[in-house]
């Protein structure tokens, strides 16, 4: 049995197990839902009274960061403690540095990262220099190249997984199986995921009050574009891309990070196969499969880049 077949079987087993656990938990969730809702409402209200001291009604609400393609990924950041904050994540330096050490000694303690320890304070300074004391509308990817090169590390052969529109599915599998690695499972992605940051030319150089949405989008892509490029360049052996076949706008998008930064930067000398995996939601009609729509465009592009590919729908 090939390695690819084993990985697809593992994905199918994970899906089946998640469905079984969902049915088992259904009764418990139903029985205690009222208790959870009431308790949650009370806790949120209490914390909101403690933490919300400033009026932010005039600040523009930031929409979902492009990297995550999920309706609640941004809301978890914005609505933390019931407060509406639209600037840089509070205590971003402490969070960044803490995640950096956590990644190397707890999250990823069995990898070669521990034998090649990165200086987290130095990485923070490289990351910070990309946006601090800068006009957020003039941030480019070149400003993050030093950080991306210093933070990126090898993830191994046949372990690289890309994704588009499947954030939770991709990371549920990588977290539970530990056989495949997404960008967010590397040090580069781990320290930055779901954080918000933007700079300003005045002191303290970081804007904690309000990030201009239009400029924030551009600056966000500047960082994740460089990170995605570095992640793709280290890929070796067979790689996987997990796509959403129930997405109305198509499973493969020409403006996705995978299309713009990852696929074009795969090394023909290192990558031997691109395995496309198309999954579909249980409660949403399938819009595309391996043999229809944008997946056909993706296959053609892969061929033009000189790679071989496979494609599997909902591996069982």
The model's pTM: 0.74
Q: What is the CATH number of the domain that holds 51?
A: 3.40.50.720
Give the pLDDT confidence score for residue 39 in this predicted structure. 41
CB atoms within 10 A of CB 78: 16
> What integer best gives the mean pLDDT of the chain?
79
Q: What is the pLDDT of residue 75?
A: 32
Report the phi/psi class of residue 133: left, alpha or beta, with left for phi > 0 and alpha for psi in -120 to 50. Answer: left
Please report which confidence band the pLDDT of residue 178 belongs to, taking 50, 70 and 90 as the band edges: confident
The domain in which residue 146 lies consists of: 3-313
Nearest residue to 220 via CA among 250, 245, 193: 193
Which residues are within 8 A (CB) of 66 and not within 5 positions of it... i.e. 6 or more apart?
217, 220, 221, 224, 257
Q: Which residue, among 197, 102, 183, 117, has the nearest Cα to 150 in the 3D structure?
A: 117
Give pLDDT tens digits for 148-176. Answer: 999 999 899 999 999 999 999 999 888 87
Quick: pLDDT tens for 67-121: 544 333 333 333 334 444 589 999 999 999 999 999 999 887 655 445 689 999 9
Which one, of 217, 195, 210, 207, lies nearest residue 59 by Cα? 210
How many structural domains are present in the chain?
1
Tens digits of residue pLDDT in 291-316: 999 999 999 999 999 999 999 999 87
Q: Which residue's structure tokens are 């360049």?
A: 233
Pick the more confident residue, 123 or 54: 123
């Amino acid at each position: 049995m090939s390695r690819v077949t084993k990985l697809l079987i593992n994905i199918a087993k994970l899906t089946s197990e998640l469905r079984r656990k969902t049915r088992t938990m259904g009764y418990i969730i139903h029985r205690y839902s009222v208790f959870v809702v009431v308790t949650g409402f009370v806790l949120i209200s209490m914390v909101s009274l403690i933490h919300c001291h400033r009026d932010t009604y005039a600040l523009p609400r930031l929409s979902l960061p492009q990297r995550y393609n999920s309706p609640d990924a941004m809301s978890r950041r914005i609505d933390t403690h019931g407060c509406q904050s639209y600037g840089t994540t509070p205590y971003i330096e402490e969070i960044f540095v803490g995640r950096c050490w956590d990644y190397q000694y707890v999250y990823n303690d069995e990898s070669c990262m521990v034998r090649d320890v990165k200086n987290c304070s130095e990485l923070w300074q490289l990351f910070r220099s990309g946006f601090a004391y800068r006009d957020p509308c003039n941030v480019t990817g070149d400003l993050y190249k030093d950080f991306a090169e210093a933070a990126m590390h090898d993830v191994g052969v046949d372990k690289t997984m890309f994704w588009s529109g499947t954030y939770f599915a991709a990371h549920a599998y990588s977290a539970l199986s530990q056989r495949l690695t997404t960008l967010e499972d590397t040090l580069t992605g781990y320290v930055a995921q779901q954080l918000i940051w933007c700079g300003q030319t005045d002191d303290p150089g970081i804007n904690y009050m309000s990030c201009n949405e239009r400029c924030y989008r551009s600056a966000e892509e500047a960082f994740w574009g460089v990170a995605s490029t570095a992640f793709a360049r280290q890929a070796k052996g067979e790689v996987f891309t997990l796509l959403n076949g129930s997405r109305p706008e198509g499973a493969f998008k020409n403006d996705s990070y995978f299309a713009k930064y990852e696929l074009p930067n795969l090394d023909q000398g290192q990558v031997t196969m691109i395995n496309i995996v198309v999954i579909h939601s249980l409660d949403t009609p399938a819009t595309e499969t391996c043999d229809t729509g944008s997946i056909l465009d993706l296959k053609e592009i892969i061929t033009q880049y000189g790679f071989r590919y496979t494609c599997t729908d909902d591996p069982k």
